[in-house]
Amino acid sequence: MDNKETQQKLLTRLIYKARETNFGRQHHFEQINCYEDFSRQVPISFYKDIAGQIGKLKKGASDILWPGRIDQFAVSAGTSGEGKHLPLSDQRLKSDRRFMRKIAVDYLQQRPNFLDIIGTHLSLPGFLEKKEHFHIGEISAFSAQHAPFWLTPLQFFNDDELVNLPFSKKIERILDKATDTDVRVMTAAPNWILTIFQRLLEQTGKESIAEIWPNLKLLICGGVKLDNYRSHILNLLGGIEVDFIETYGASEGYIAFSDNLEKRDLKLIFDNGIFYEFIPHPLADQEAMSTQEAIPLWETQTDIPYAILVTTNAGLWRYALNDVVEFRDTNPPRIEVRGRVSEMLDDYGEALYAYEAAETLHKTAEELSITIGNFTVGAQMASSRQLPRHYWFIQTSESLSKDILLRFAGKLDTALQQENRHYAIRRESETMGEPKVLTISQQQINTWLQQKDKEKAQGKLPSILRDDSDIDFFKNS
């Protein structure tokens, strides 16, 4: 399948479909004949640019961004700030179902023994609420409610029941019945898979999940980077061999998944209602990024960091996601998610991107034969008589002594200076102190999420902590 031809045809269909909407008339869709016209006439947009139109849609207005009325909205909370409510058209939900079918087909082609996964399927969807004129919830809840009919008999719980429960109650319901159920497939964010596994082992006194769910075959993960949790999950599984499928999706749409069980990169889906553009070497500031030149999918290159713009069949037009990806291949397109555009630690001029921090951290850990799961980092000046420094909070299944943590911090400091010149200047000029590395547990992460009202399907620990109170929480808990 040619990605240029496919994407050009898709863009033409999207523009034709929305030509009579308010947005289409405002941007003269009838005059757009090619991608160059489109990129010239339609500006790059962020949520602040469409918040007013979203408000009108929620009040019942029609034909604003997409033909007809839209009364379903996915909450895109991210890791900080106020939640964003993104439109979900019927066409978008159909595309999401097609994405799920692609996952199933690709998996069964690699593991053709369908009988292995005939058993209970356990999923952990987020919340869904009915307001006066519309429904609002996490994308996982909408996906669960629109799952294929043939999955219904296999589900651990009725999805209508789970989406209406508080998140802590969902976990409790699962734990109440989990030990008496032959779970074969589990779908959830990897942080919640780890939490359920830990709680199950604590509850039952078993040594591994293999003793509880010996026929578990497949874990479908999304929402949080799987590699931060994979080793911990494998450690708790015991002797059973389980396949992992990682999905990269958002409230804006499902974008890619791991179609090859032997690879860690993701297959980008470009024929499913989303037109893609990419901004090379994106700037963290939205105002600056909006003036950068974007390129279409067919002009991308490997090993360059890109921000993603999406134009979708839900009425998002050149809408900027907050993710940074790199292509491992361009034909067919395969990507790796590197981090977030806005996740830069620059409190003291160090200008350290989260994906740089993650890469350096994992390389340093590998040198020391330490397995790192999740992590977060924050900058803090503890008192006026101390230099500011970075505090790294790492999740690991190993017990690390103070001496090892000090050695880790020293090696990490050296590696960061080699990786990032801004950081090196601050350290060389002694305007920043040496970093500190501390360990944290999944229980601490869950407690923090609960306190922040982020204990949801999409709730996750940010790579960067912005507030002193959050840094103090992990330092002192």
pLDDT number for residue 8: 97
pLDDT number for residue 309: 97
pLDDT (mean) for 453-471: 79
**C-beta separation of 27 from 42 below 8 A:** yes
What gap in Å lies between CA 187 and CA 322, rounded to an integer?
A: 24
pLDDT band at residue 60 under the 50/70/90 scheme: very high
pLDDT (mean) for 417-440: 85
Tokens of 327: 């292509």
Residue 34, classed as helix, strand or coil, is coil
221: left (phi over 0), alpha (psi -120 to 50) or beta: beta
**C-beta separation of 314 from 88 below 8 A:** yes
What gap in Å lies between CA 219 and CA 225, rounded to an integer?
A: 14
pLDDT number for residue 81: 36
Q: In this structure, what are the phi and psi dihedrals at residue 456, rounded to the nearest 5 degrees? A: -135, 175
What gap in Å lies between CA 251 and CA 80, rounded to an integer?
A: 15
What Å distances lie between residue 287 and 44, 239, 309, 342, CA to CA?
A: 10, 51, 15, 12
Q: Out of 208-217, 233-242, 343-352, 434-443, pick the least confident.
A: 343-352
Residue 378 pLDDT > 50: yes
Q: Out of 1-10, 101-110, 385-394, 424-433, pick the least confident.
A: 424-433
- Select from 327, 210, 212, 351 the least CA-distant residue to 278: 327
Residue 115 pLDDT > 80: no
Percent of the chain with pLDDT over 90: 51
pLDDT number for residue 25: 97
- Select from 341, 338, 351 the least CA-distant residue to 390: 351
Residue 138 pLDDT > 70: yes
Range of 126-130, 214-218, 321-325, 463-467 with top mean pLDDT: 214-218
pLDDT digits (tens, 9 = 90+) for 140-168: 878 777 665 555 555 666 666 667 777 67
Q: Can you tell me which residue has the tokens 């979203």?
A: 54
Q: How high does pLDDT run on average in the chain?
A: 87
Q: Can you list the domains of the chain with their CATH numbers?
A: 3-87+265-340 (no CATH), 93-257 (3.40.50), 344-476 (3.30.300)
pLDDT band at residue 68 under the 50/70/90 scheme: very high
pLDDT digits (tens, 9 = 90+) for 398-422: 889 999 999 999 999 999 998 887 7
pLDDT number for residue 233: 87
pLDDT number for residue 327: 97
DSSP H or E stretch at residue 112:
none
pTM of the model: 0.77
pLDDT digits (tens, 9 = 90+) for 297-327: 999 999 999 999 999 999 999 999 988 899 9
